[in-house]
Amino acid sequence: MLLLAIDTSTTAITVALHDGTSVVAEDTTLDARAHAEHLAPGISRALGQVGAEPGDVTDVVVGIGPGPFTGLRVGIVSARTFAFALGVPVRGLTSLDAIAHEAWLGGHRGDLLVATDARRKEVYAAAYVLDDARAQRSQDPVVARAAELDEQLRALPTAGRGPLLYPDALPHALAPLDVSGGALADLAVRRLVEPPCAADGELQQVDPAHGFDGLEPLYLRRPDVSPAPAAAKSTLG
């Protein structure tokens, strides 16, 4: 296995490679606006770190957001194109899950809020419970002003850039700030090779795509730019 992970949902344009045992390469550039310019070079640098060629990649996973429209689309389109050209599977994961997973890898346990920058003075936010087994989402992603989130959520330790942007509303900042390609890759491999436990504790036999979210972008709101309405036909002449 050589899994390529891509995420462009946050300030980090991040890619990583995972060989099925560990993350073997990662490349991240922080730029809130130039996702398209940085992504392809980042993939090339990550492959170069391990002396691999694009044809060595066996799987692709991409963060599907939530995130701003343009940046998010760059990652998803690139992942689809890369996978199509090689004829390998491509799968999607909610980007906030990767941030929660990195917090879990870092040793955090208990409740967690992930809140990333949604611009327009809003955050993308989701709640999680982190136990010894995994980070489990307990509330699906929403977009809202930080101060308008439920008071109990705002009191939780919070990963993502939300606490830096809105410290009064989200006072309990916790690393990481952005999605890590390495954490996304690690989460993807775990979901591929470790079927989740059933309620009675027994392992379930599941489809290989179990635990993935498809490839539809998770925008949570309409894009800033939309096609102009069709012009009315002239009645002159």
Q: How confident is the prediction along the chain (237 residues), in pLDDT tens digits per residue? A: 999 999 999 999 999 999 999 999 999 999 988 899 999 999 999 999 999 999 999 999 999 999 999 899 999 999 999 999 999 999 999 999 999 999 999 999 999 999 999 999 999 999 999 999 999 999 999 999 999 999 999 999 999 999 999 999 999 999 999 999 999 999 999 999 875 543 333 333 334 445 798 899 999 986 544 444 555 554 444
Which stretches of the chain are DSSP H helices?
35-49, 69-86, 95-105, 151-154, 162-165, 181-193
| pLDDT of the residue at 207 | 42
**Closest CA relative to residue 180, chosen from 33, 12, 38, 35:** 12
How many other CB atoms are found less than 10 A from the CB of residue 228?
Answer: 6
Contact 7, 35 (CB under 8 A): no
DSSP 155-216: TS-EESSHHHH-TTT---EES--S--HHHHHHHHHHHHHSPPBPTTSPBPP--TTTT---S-
| pLDDT of the residue at 129 | 98
Give the span between the Cα atoms of 157 and 110, in whole angstroms.
9
Kindly tell me the number of DSSP H helices and DSSP E strands found in the chain: 6, 10
| pLDDT of the residue at 229 | 53
6 secondary structure, DSSP code = E
pTM of the model: 0.88
Contact 60, 43 (CB under 8 A): no
Cβ neighbours for 183, distance < 8 A, ≥ 6 positions apart: 98, 99, 101, 102, 105, 176
Strand partners of residue 50: none
Which pairing describes strands 135-144 and 122-130: parallel, antiparallel, or unpaired? antiparallel
Domains of the chain (ranges, CATH numbers): 3-95+179-193 (3.30.420.40), 96-174 (3.30.420.40)
| pLDDT of the residue at 202 | 34
| pLDDT of the residue at 237 | 43
| pLDDT of the residue at 25 | 98
